[in-house]
Amino acid sequence: MRPRVRRVLWNDDARRPRLPWRIAALVLTIVLLGYLGTLVFAAATSGSIRAVLGPVASTEQSAVAIRNVASLAAQTLVIAGAVVLVGRFVDRRRLRDFGIRTDRAWWLDLGFGLALGALLMTLVFLFELSVGWVAVRDRFVVARAGFAFWPWFAWGLLTFVAVGVYEELLFRGYLLTNLAEGFRWFDRISPIGAVGLATLATSLLFGVAHAANPNASVASVLGIVLGAVMLAAGYVLTGELAIPIGLHITWNFFQGVVYGFPVSGTGGGVSLIAVEQSGPRLFTGGAFGPEAGLVGVGAILLGTALTAGWVQWRYGRLEIDASVAEPELRRAPTDGDAPAE
């Protein structure tokens, strides 16, 4: 390979492909695993599998459950699996370098994130209830007639746990850290500036990724972008995904499964409380959900401030964690420092 071409494709100091090719490898892996996922889904929902399961899949509720479990398993396999595989064999990183750990501090931060998401969405619900913008019309609601409530309530929780994990692993864990590292290649960009640019870029991408959702609008995209910044704050201030994973899970779960709001324009078909919304869409977000309204934006700003306060209290500092742009395995494996990219 000619030296000039090699320099474009390969970082000799870090012994791995350069940033664009690492991201291309991730996209290709997602596509390949996505194809495998469709095969898994088709097999799990095929007539032959249901015949083997016998009485377990004999009812409509069981058949729907099998399809849902297979679909969620396939999505999780595709996204989380791609990040782990590409991170390990292309990026030269371990899972902990993407913000996943198992120590006590990590679990405490996860608990804070879980509590924060529940608190923020509860405040949204109570505020809109107090001003008459929502009214409770029913409880223990399942969209499909004859389906038991609690199994589907638990299914809603499982769904949002999986979504919270694999979306944070993809957008914050992989993309934000890769871009922050890549921006360090430019001499005039400081580590803090690189992380800030990476946060902005991935937050915009997160908003665009939700732009095709039902009932989406310019306001909803902007709200999702702000929500992504809130989620990123917990990561860039701690170097770990514990806070954003917890916050992501309970924000969605309490929004849809507990309080019956739309979640990014969609309904989950099960909710502890069914609400009828009548307030102005500018404030409530209407059919898209709270992120598209000013009340939701207020909750996002509050969540960002509380995240910063938690980090200050827990760690005694409030600054960008250097590991986001310069973690151990993203540095040169040889003597001296390699270019960040």
pLDDT band at 284 (very low <50, low <70, confident <90, very high): very high
**Is residue 328 over pLDDT 70?**
no
What pLDDT, on the 0 to 100 scale, is given for residue 11? 75
* Predicted local distance difference test score (pLDDT) of residue 335: 42
Residues 6 or more apart in contact with residue 281 via CB below 8 angstroms: 292, 293
> 162 and 67, same structural domain?
no
Residues 184 and 310 in one domain: yes
Q: What value does the mean pLDDT take over residues 158-174?
A: 95
Q: Is residue 335 part of a domain?
A: no
Q: In this predicted structure, what is the pLDDT of residue 51?
A: 55
- Domain ends where: 92, 119, 142? 92
Q: What is the pLDDT of residues 57-106, one digit of tens each?
A: 456 666 777 777 878 888 898 999 999 999 999 998 888 888 998 899 99
The per-residue pLDDT for 187 is 72
Residue 144 confidence class, pLDDT cut points 50, 70, 90: confident
Residues 155 and 261 in one domain: yes
Is residue 338 one of the residues assigned to a domain? no
Please indicate, yes or no, whether residues 14 and 131 belong to a single structural domain of this protein: no
Q: Are residues 262 and 156 in the same domain?
A: yes
Residue 117 has pLDDT above 90, yes or no: yes
CB of 25 closer than 8 Å to CB of 90: yes
* Shared-domain flag, residues 246 and 195: yes
Q: What is the pLDDT of residue 68?
A: 79
Average pLDDT of span 46-62: 57
pLDDT at residue 198 is higher than 90: yes
Question: For the residues 305-328, what does the mean pLDDT come to?
Answer: 89
Q: What is the pLDDT of residue 97?
A: 87
| Domain ranges, residue 49 | 1-92
The total number of structural domains that make up the chain: 2
Q: Which of 60, 92, 124 is the last residue of a domain?
A: 92
296 and 242 both lie in a single domain: yes
Position 332 confidence tier, pLDDT thresholds 50, 70, 90:
very low
Look-up: residue for tokens 């969209």?
143
Q: What's residue 257's pLDDT? A: 95
Band the pLDDT of 50: cuts 50, 70, 90.
Answer: low
pLDDT digits (tens, 9 = 90+) for 225-281: 999 999 999 999 999 999 999 999 999 999 999 999 999 998 878 999 999 988 899
CA-to-CA distance for 240 and 224, rounded, in angstroms? 21
Q: Is 190 inside a domain boundary?
A: yes
Contacts of 282 by beta carbon, 8 Å cutoff, 6+ apart: 219, 293, 294
- State what percent of residues in the chain have pLDDT above 90: 60
Structure tokens at 65: 């459950």
Structure tokens at 211: 């732009």
Tell me the pLDDT of the chain averaged across its residues: 87
How far, in Å, CA of 318 to CA of 316, rounded?
7
Indicate whether 21 and 144 sit together in one domain. Answer: no
Please give the pLDDT value at position 236: 96
> Do 58 and 187 share a domain, yes or no?
no
168 within some domain = yes
> Which whole number is the average pLDDT over 10-34?
88
Predicted confidence (pLDDT) at residue 48 exceeds the cutoff of 80: no
Q: Any idea what the Cα angle at residue 209 is, between residues 125 and 262, rounded to 5°?
A: 25
Residue 341 domain flag: no
Residue 49 has pLDDT above 60, yes or no: no
Complete DSSP assignment for 257-300: IIT---BTTB--SEEEEEEEE-S-HHHH-GGG-GGGSHHHHHHH
Q: Is 222 exposed, middle or buried (0-12, 13-18, 19+ CB in 10 A)?
A: middle
Higher pLDDT, 202 or 36: 202
Q: Are 160 and 213 within one domain?
A: yes
**339 within domain boundaries:** no
**For the ranges 92-106, 201-215, 276-290, which has the lowest average pLDDT?**
92-106
**Residue 298: pLDDT above 50?**
yes
Choosing from 32, 64, 92, the residue where a domain stops is 92
Q: Is residue 336 part of a domain?
A: no
Q: Alpha-carbon Rg of the chain, whole angstroms?
A: 22
108 lies in the same domain as 8: no
Q: Are 201 and 261 within one domain?
A: yes
